[in-house]
Amino acid sequence: MSDTARIITSQNVIINYETANIGERLIARLLDLIFFVAYLGVFYFLLENFIGFSGDNDPKFGSVIAILIPVPVMTYTLWAESLFNGRSLGKLIMGLKVVKTDGSPAGVGEFAYRWISRIFEGEILSIFTCLALPVAMVSDKSQRIGDMIAGTIVIKTKQRSSLRNTILSQIHPQYQVVFPQVANLSDRDMNTIRDVMTQAFDTGNHRLLEYLGAKIKSVMGVNPNPQQLPTVQFLNIVLADYTHYNFHGA
């Protein structure tokens, strides 16, 4: 049973992310349900008091409004995951995200399949039902039926601290930048470098480091002699250069 997902970054570097387990998905769904209750409670309260205050006794008006109020809840996962890049409010709080099984971003089509399947699973206004839960429990990646139909999984997104606090922020002010080409890189690139280096060291996958080093050299347009500057040292210098360049001035 696999508990990881292969994600391809914008630099075509592969990172393995953990898939969300049943407990985490249940909590995320529960948070969404709390949002539903709060939303419905507030709007029905306002509706009742507004109609009473205005003296509007038209039953058709009240019926139409009463029917329209639940629509955002009924279609919640469809519009929320489409707008927030695979996240509902609960998933956002829990640090979860819906992606395709190959790790690429899911689109409106996948979100629509997942939403439609909730109708058949009886999960529109509930947590995992007796139909969805057993399937997710025996699935390799905790997929419910909707995930299987849509070809999606739910992954854990890593929470990253700012570079100022996490990447060699105590570099000496007199430090000299070795590669000014780090100006071509971004905070996202730095987070990718850190993630891949951590994974490579944890798994002993040195080939991953070499692949990452080649990609970064290509983006920066540099080609240092690997005999004089090993890949690990090069990547560490890039991190130091970027931190100094952006936070201490070039």
H-state helical runs in 139-228: 145-150, 163-166, 187-203, 206-220
Q: What is the pTM of this model?
A: 0.59
Residue 205 per-residue DSSP state: -
The pLDDT, as a whole number, for residue 53 is 47
Strands 4-8 and 14-18: antiparallel
The pLDDT, as a whole number, for residue 169 is 42
The pLDDT, as a whole number, for residue 165 is 41
Angle formed at CA 224 by CA 219 and CA 225, multiple of 5 degrees: 140
Q: Which amino acid is at 225?
A: N
Would you give per-residue pLDDT tens digits along the chain (250 residues)? 446 666 554 444 455 668 888 889 989 989 999 999 999 888 888 877 766 544 455 666 667 777 888 889 889 989 999 999 899 999 999 989 998 887 667 889 999 999 988 877 766 555 666 677 778 888 878 888 889 999 999 988 754 444 444 444 445 556 678 899 998 888 888 888 888 888 777 777 778 888 999 999 999 999 988 777 888 888 888 888 888 777 655 5
For 160-169, give one letter per residue: b (16+ CB within 10 A) or e. Answer: eeebeeebee
In three-state secondary structure terms, 14 is: strand
User: How many whole angstroms separate alpha carbon 94 and alpha carbon 109?
Assistant: 24
The pLDDT, as a whole number, for residue 168 is 43
